[in-house]
Structure 1
Amino acid sequence: MRRQKRDKLGRAYSNGYQAGLSGRTKENCPYQNTNAKSEWLGGWREALTDKNMGLFK
């Protein structure tokens, strides 16, 4: 059975989340595509919110 690849937008969100947790700025977004960039920034914002709530250090 073949493994299904994650969709590109889901990957962009995940990468943005990891960038937010590691303290990178939103200007470091590597995506040019509007949809992927939007997902990356959504993940980035979510990570900042989680950090501010004390879920991560």
Structure 2
Amino acid sequence: MQNTPCFLLQNIKRWVVLFPIRVKGVGVVGSVTVGGLTGELDHAYAVEGVRLFLRER
């Protein structure tokens, strides 16, 4: 990989936030995964996405 203005190696994050999706009586059936921001922002983004999804149901 090369350092270019659009792709700087020092900007790559080495973590992601993952939320398991559990169904009562079944177990884990999937996950919500986000990455690329800070850990705190990734977490907030994932939580808000799940909240919006559940609100529409």
Fold-level match, TM-score > 0.5? Answer: no
Name the TM-score, length of structure 2 as normaliser: 0.41
Flag the structure with higher helix content.
Answer: 1
Larger radius of gyration: 2
Name the TM-score, length of structure 1 as normaliser: 0.41
Flag the structure with higher strand content.
Answer: 2
